[in-house]
Each structure stands twice: as structure tokens, then as C-alpha cells.
């Protein structure tokens, strides 16, 4: 199991378009991936579910924990961490 904590820098957090980009990336991995909003003390959600990611209520400045377990867990966590770091540029903010 691989885990990492990341601060979300996107202006809109993980709402609508940024959430869709994140979920699309997460679904590309075989590992089970969970996203937990630590700032809002929300339970972990399935990172491959748009409903789960939107339900996490992640806003700009929130710290989230990404946990991946499976054959590509290291690559999954690294890729999603990098995505969150660069999400503002990817969605045109």
C-alpha cells in the first residue's frame, strides 16, 4: 500500500471539470485508489468514482490523502500527486 498527502492548489478544488480529469486519470490504474479530504475530515472515497470525488468536498487549500493498493500503486500515487499539483494549468485556471 502506498499513501501520500497533497495540498490541492486548483482554484476550484476538485469540483466539476478538475474532478473529471482526476477520475479519468485514476481509472487508468489497476490499483484500488482512495481519496480522503483530511481538511474537512471526510471519509475516504473511491478515486475512480466522480460521485465519490465530488462528495469529498475538496476545495483549494485542502489537504487530501491518496492511498493506492495494487500492482501499480507507486505509479498511481505519483501520477495523481503530480496531477493535483498541475491541475490548475490543465483545466485552464
Q: Which residues are catalytic?
A: 15
Contacts of 27 (CB under 8 A, 6+ apart): 48
Amino acid at each position: 500500500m502506498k499513501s501520500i498527502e497533497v495540498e490541492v492548489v486548483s482554484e476550484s478544488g476538485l469540483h466539476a471539470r478538475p474532478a473529471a480529469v482526476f477520475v479519468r486519470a485514476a481509472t487508468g490504474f489497476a490499483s484500488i485508489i482512495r481519496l480522503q479530504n483530511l481538511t474537512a475530515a471526510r471519509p475516504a472515497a473511491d478515486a475512480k468514482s466522480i460521485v465519490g470525488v465530488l462528495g469529498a468536498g475538496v476545495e483549494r487549500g485542502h489537504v487530501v490523502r491518496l492511498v493506492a493498493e495494487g500492482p501499480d500503486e507507486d505509479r498511481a500515487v505519483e501520477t495523481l500527486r503530480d496531477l493535483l499539483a498541475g491541475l490548475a494549468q490543465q483545466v485552464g485556471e
